[in-house]
A = this chain, B = another copy of it.
Amino acid sequence: MAVDKRMEALFKPQSVAIIGASTNPAKWGFNFTLHLTHGGYRGACYPINPAGGEILGHRAYKSILDVPGEIDLAFILIPPEAAVSALADCGKKGIRACVVVTAGFGELGGQGESLQRSLCEIAREAGIAMVGPNCAGITSPEPMSLYCTMQPNFPPSGHIAIFSQSGNIGGSIQRVCEKHDIGISRFASTGNESVLTSSDYLNYFAEDEQTKVVVGYVEGISDGRRFFDVARQLTRKKPLVLMKAGRSVVGANAAKSHTGALAGSDAVFKALCRQCGIIRVSSIDEMFDVATAFLAQPLPRGSRVGIVANGGGWGVLTADACIAAGLDVAPLPEETLQALDNRLPAWWNRQNPVDLVGGISRGSFFKAVEALAKSDSLDGVIALGFGYASSIASVFRNAPGLGSTGDRIAKDMLASDMRGLNFILDVIEQSGKPVVLASENAVGADRDGNEAILTFRKKGVIVYPSPDRAANVFAKMYEYQRYLTAVAGSGDGNLRAGGQTDE
C-alpha cells in the first residue's frame, strides 16, 4: 500500500526548519532547537528568526522563504497570529509537513477557534500535513534521528509507536521507554488535531514497518467511525494499546479546556474498543508493561497460568491477581507434578503456584519454569524472583575475610543468573508460550544495576517489579489473543504479536 508522502515528510524528513528558533533559553524556540541538535538529527536544520545570525551552531534565516534548499518539515513556535502567516509561507515554500506547537487556538474558543480555522484552510489548500496546533512535537529515531519535542526525551530506536493527545503524557510514555532502554519507532503529539487526527497516525503506523506495537493516549475522538475502522485494520496486524482519559465529568471538562476534545460516553468507547481488539489500559505504567510484553513474548493460547515462586508470598499475590484478572491458575496434572518431582527438592509444595520455599539452589527455579512451560495443561508461565543471585553478588564482593573468594563467588552468582536468563529465553522460544517475569530484584534495578535484570532488558524482556503487574500483562496478552482468534474464525492463534503477518 502506498504511504502518503506527506506522512513520510513528517517522520523521515531530510531537512527541518524551526520557525521561532531562539538563542533565549526561556523560549521554546531555544529548547526545540537544542533537543533537535542534542538528539543528533542527521538532516539539515534551518532555524528561522527575524534577527538572523546563528542559533546553537546552525545558520539562522530571517524567513522560511530565504532558505535556499528544500524543506521537508517545519516546526512553528511563534504566537498564534504569526503562526497562521508562517503556515502560509510554508505552503509557498512547498513544505509538505508542519507541526504547529503554539497553543491558543481551538482550545480557547472564540478568536482562537477562528485562527484555528485559518490554519486548516491554509493547510488544506497547500496540501500540508499539519500536526497540532497546541502540541509538543515529534520523535522519529529512524532514519533521521529526529528528536524534536518540548521535553528532553531521547528514547532509543525501536518498535513502539506512540500517539498522544497530551504532550506531557506523550513525554511521559517516551520517558518510561527511555529509562528502561526500550526503543520507540515514532512519537506524535497530536494536539488539537485540526488537520491530522489520531486516525491518520494510526493509519500510518499500521503500514510502518518499523512499528510493531502502537500505544496511544486519547481524550476524545472527533472522527469516531474512521478511528475505529482504522483501528480494526491495525489490530489484525499489530496490537493497539490505548489509554482514554476524561472518564469522569470533571476529567472530561478538563480535557475540553486542554485540547478542545469531547470525551463522550465511556461505556460506548469501551464497547467499541472491545469490538476492535483495542487493549485498553488505565495508566502509563500499565501501557508500558503491556506494550513491552507484546514485543517480547508469544501470546498465550489460553488462560491457564502456571506460577513459580522462590518464596510463597509473591506466589499468593500473583494467584490473587490472576484470578481477579480472569485467568485460570490451573491445577497441575499428575504428569507435570512428576516432572517437577524429578527436578525440585523434596519439600516443594506440589501445587500451582509452585513454591520452592526459599530453596537457595537457583537451578530448581529455572527447571520448574521449563516443566510448567512444557505442560499441555498450561498456556504460559509467570515466574517470580529472578535475579536473586545477581542482587547478592555485590554483598559477596565486599564480604570481609573473603577476599578473592568473594569475588569468585560473586562472579559465579552472576553467571548462574545469566545461564538462567538464556535458559528462559530458550524456553520461550521452544515452547512458544509466554514466560512473564516479576521480581523484587527489579525494583530500582536502574540504580543498583542488577546485571541479570538489565541484561534481560537489553534483550527486550522487562522483569516487572511487582506480581500484580505480571498478572495483568498476561491477562492483556490473552485478551488480544482471544480477539485475534475470534477474528481469524479458525485460529491461526499463536501469532507473535510483535511480528507482522503477510496479510
- Hey, which bits of chain A sit against chain B, CB under 8 A? 25-28, 31, 34-35, 37-38, 54, 56-57, 103-104, 108, 134, 136, 150-152, 164-172, 175-176, 178-180, 217, 219, 245-251, 253-255, 257-259, 282-285, 309-317, 319-320, 322-324, 329, 347, 349, 351-353, 355, 357-358, 360-361, 385, 388, 391-392, 394-396, 398-402, 409, 440-441, 443-444, 446-448, 465-466, 468
Bound Cα distance A357, B443 (Å) = 33
Bound Cα distance A233, B141 (Å) = 58
Bound Cα distance A474, B152 (Å) = 29
Inter-subunit contact A355/B248 (CB<8 Å): no
CB distance from A430 to the nearest CB of B (A): 28
Inter-subunit contact A251/B175 (CB<8 Å): no
Closest B-chain residue to A266, C-beta based? B320
Inter-subunit contact A395/B34 (CB<8 Å): yes
Inter-subunit contact A385/B440 (CB<8 Å): no
A31 touches which of B104, B360, B448 (Cβ 8 Å): B360
Bound Cα distance A440, B173 (Å) = 8
Inter-subunit contact B136/A466 (CB<8 Å): no
Inter-subunit contact B347/A179 (CB<8 Å): no
Given that A329-B250, A392-B152, A400-B56 are known contacts, is A282 also in contact with B319, CB under 8 Å in the complex?
A: no
Given that A175-B444, A285-B466, A444-B180 are known contacts, is A316 also in contact with B31, CB under 8 Å in the complex?
A: no
Bound Cα distance A108, B346 (Å) = 12
Inter-subunit contact B285/A465 (CB<8 Å): yes
- Chain B residues, CB < 8 A from A385: 168
Given that A57-B400, A400-B57 are known contacts, is A250 also in contact with B319, CB under 8 Å in the complex?
A: yes
Inter-subunit contact A248/B319 (CB<8 Å): yes
A134, A259, A310, A312, most chain B CB atoms within 10 A: A312
Inter-subunit contact A282/B172 (CB<8 Å): no
Given that A28-B360, A355-B257, A446-B447 are known contacts, is A166 also in contact with B34, CB under 8 Å in the complex?
A: no
Inter-subunit contact A165/B313 (CB<8 Å): yes
- Chain B residues, CB < 8 A from A349: 257-258
A56 touches which of B283, B324, B402 (Cβ 8 Å): B402
- Chain B residues, CB < 8 A from A443: 172, 175-176, 179
**Copy count, this protein chain:** 2
Inter-subunit contact A313/B34 (CB<8 Å): no
Inter-subunit contact A176/B444 (CB<8 Å): yes
Inter-subunit contact A323/B248 (CB<8 Å): yes
- Chain B residues, CB < 8 A from A465: 285
Inter-subunit contact B316/A255 (CB<8 Å): yes
Bound Cα distance A355, B340 (Å) = 57
Inter-subunit contact B175/A440 (CB<8 Å): yes
Inter-subunit contact B179/A136 (CB<8 Å): no
Closest B-chain residue to A27, C-beta based? B360
CB distance from A35 to the nearest CB of B (A): 7
CB distance from A156 to the nearest CB of B (A): 14
Inter-subunit contact A347/B108 (CB<8 Å): yes
Inter-subunit contact A56/B401 (CB<8 Å): yes
Inter-subunit contact A398/B38 (CB<8 Å): yes
- Chain B residues, CB < 8 A from A283: 317, 466, 468
Bound Cα distance A248, B467 (Å) = 15
- Chain B residues, CB < 8 A from A246: 316, 320
Bound Cα distance A500, B54 (Å) = 61
Beyond A164-B313, A245-B317: 9 further Cβ-contacts under 8 Å? A25-B409, A38-B395, A54-B401, A151-B391, A172-B440, A179-B444, A248-B323, A259-B312, A282-B468
Bound Cα distance A465, B309 (Å) = 28
Inter-subunit contact A323/B250 (CB<8 Å): yes
- Chain B residues, CB < 8 A from A170: 313
Inter-subunit contact B168/A312 (CB<8 Å): yes
CB distance from A396 to the nearest CB of B (A): 7
Given that A168-B314, A248-B320 are known contacts, is A401 also in contact with B57, CB under 8 Å in the complex?
A: yes
Bound Cα distance A349, B444 (Å) = 37
- Chain B residues, CB < 8 A from A171: 440
A313 touches which of B179, B219, B347 (Cβ 8 Å): B219
Bound Cα distance A131, B28 (Å) = 60
- Chain B residues, CB < 8 A from A398: 38
- Chain B residues, CB < 8 A from A167: 311, 313, 358
- Chain B residues, CB < 8 A from A219: 313, 316
Closest B-chain residue to A313, C-beta based? B166
- Chain B residues, CB < 8 A from A38: 395, 398-400
Interchain residue pairs with CB less than 8 A apart (27): A25-B409, A31-B392, A34-B396, A54-B401, A151-B388, A151-B391, A152-B391, A152-B392, A166-B313, A166-B314, A167-B311, A168-B312, A169-B313, A171-B440, A172-B314, A172-B466, A179-B444, A249-B323, A250-B320, A253-B351, A254-B351, A255-B316, A257-B355, A258-B313, A258-B315, A283-B317, A283-B466
